[in-house]
Amino acid sequence: MTVRLPDPHVHYRPQDPSTAISRRRLLIGTAFVAATIATTFSFGARPASAESVLAMHIEEQTSWVQNFNPFDLGGRRQSTMDFVYEPLVIFNDYDSGKPIFRLATGYKFSDDLKSITYTLRDGVKWSDGQPLTSADMKFTLELMLKNPAVDIVGVGGSVASVEAPSPTEVKITLKDVDTHFPESMADFPVVPEHIWKDVADPLAFKNEKPIGSGPMTEIRRFTPQVYEQCRNPNYWDAASLHVDCLKLPQISGNDQMLALLPEGSMDWIGSFLPEIDKTYIALDKDHNGYWQPPAETIAFQVNFKTANPALAEAFNDINFRHAFSLVMDRTAMVDIAGFGYPVVNVHASGLPPRFDAWRNKAAEGDKDVWMTYDVDKANKVLDDAGYKKGADGMRTTPKGQPIAFSIIVPNGWTDWIDAVQIATEGLRKAGFNASVATPEYEQWQKQILDGSFDAVMNSRADGPTPFRGYYQSLSTAFAGRITSAPSRYSNPELDKVFDAYRKATTDEERKKLFDQVQVIIADNFPVVPVFNGPTWYQYSTKRFTGWVTKDEPVMNPENHDNNRMRLMHLLRLKPVQ
């Protein structure tokens, strides 16, 4: 696909000068960074016989912490899942959710749908040579059941008991029918019992030298600036693996990535690159490429469980959330902050464009009026709801409490920072004392998980159907437990429909139930959708071949932690001979 770039001759409507920061900040003044990082991270072409080292950018941090604990969502390195801990099964969203079996070779529901049995791949070994068996999967499931803090896939709400009838079979008895269960296990990491049984605190454990099942388990070098993660000596699918090591440089943000690009040292990138044809493709037209198809919905989420009484009063009032949405200049966020890459989301349901076939028009129409940019209407909504303005132009809650809040966004995410700045400008026009806070990415995640934030701009991980993204981000079961459910939203009516969907046995039933989900969300407006970001994916064919491209769109190509298919992408790659 062709990514639409803003026409340089178009005059965008005036904004506060701060909204133009991204163009100056991203495109000017990065030369001084390049000299420093080039020495640390760059390497030239390798002879065919040399070790094949794949340089990846998968997360942005000021410095690394050596943490490969798959249960620590806020602290683990983003190369932990897939590369250290292989999934049981991966569902390919780009192939109608087709299962690709990895540690498991299959699964089967019982006739009454009250249990499911997984068959594990025979002969798989952990990276230390110990056999991986059903006892390890049983141990991991029971670890989650006993320790809700590490239950990152929600098995506590579904699983009644676990048995291991043979070394390759795991029988899971469910509390009730749950046909969605295999998909909910997509992010489940099987850990070795012989290592983790002696871990006193499975959430605090840093797991610095992991024993895993995936292709890249050996941490050969680890510094605050770069680490190398190399081949598992006992990988079951070694014949398919042609990369010897992953090299992961510390990159603090989009500015630093731009400074690094001229060195030509990166192979697989997942970054926001403004004016990408100029800043990346033009550097090496023979080798540099990208594909950025539309992705998940980006939305503003407020903390419904905030300890601040004034914010709790405002955030839990739908009038406040409607007004919040009305002052979002989504077009400016897309064109100015996002350089035209994202797509404005116009639906109160927040449904992503790729799930257009699931759209329920009953959740649109009048319900979408809150998705327009109308500051005057926002002020009227607030006036009518009793949010009074003081002499300083700032509003108080209907109970007279002053409202001041910050919106957190990771430091270095310049496109998102600029979008949040545009949002706070709109909020101030409505009389709200809103500001931007930019914690480091790891701290941002931890604030989401511990609830120590006011509001956040965030995305969610979608699945082969839209259900997973909605269920995990807006159900009571996941509220505050994973990074895509920061709002801690709880709606019994919505939970009831979610539960019915999980028990549905036909696509027709699921479609009708998801129609209800869209109406409930559009009516209650728990989040404020703004746009659908692109998939951040750039690559170089200088050192490796086999990249997924727009001409061969066989899978989600990005290398971020929310995409399990990145494992299959890695296995496609071969060094240039």
Residue 148 corresponds to which tokens in the numbers above?
């809700």
- Phi first, then psi: what are they for 316, rounded to 5°? -85, 5
Specify the pLDDT at position 463: 87
CA dihedral 550, 555, 558, 563 (to 10 degrees): 160
Distance in angstroms (rounded) separating the CA atoms of residues 238 and 232: 8
For the chain of 577 residues, list the mean pLDDT of each consecutive stretch of 10: 30 33 39 40 49 95 91 95 98 95 98 98 98 98 97 95 98 97 96 98 98 98 96 98 97 91 97 96 98 94 98 98 98 97 96 94 96 98 98 97 97 95 98 97 94 96 91 96 95 98 96 98 98 96 98 96 96 97
pLDDT value for 460: 87
Helix residue spans in 374-525 (DSSP H): 375-384, 414-429, 441-450, 467-474, 492-503, 507-524
Residue 531 has phi, psi (to 5 degrees) of -160, 170
What three-state secondary structure class fits 255?
Answer: helix
pLDDT at site 462:
87
In angstroms, the CA 164 to CA 554 distance is 35
> In whole angstroms, what is the distance from residue 412 CA to residue 555 CA?
28
CB contact at 8 A, 541 and 54: no
What is the rounded CA–CA span in Å between residue 462 and residue 297?
A: 9
Which residue, among 285, 530, 308, has the nearest Cα to 403 in the 3D structure?
A: 308
Rounded to 5 degrees, φ, ψ at 533 are: -70, 160
Q: What is the reported pLDDT for 487?
A: 98
pLDDT at 49: 56
Phi-psi region of 324 (alpha: psi -120 to 50; beta: other; left: phi over 0): alpha
Cβ partners under 8 Å of residue 574, min gap 6: 242, 544, 545, 546
Helices (H) and strands (E) in the chain, counts: 17, 21
Closest C-alpha to 418, from 326, 335, 526: 335
* pLDDT for the residue numbered 194: 98
| pLDDT for 328 | 98
Q: Which two tokens stand for residue 569?
A: 């992408």
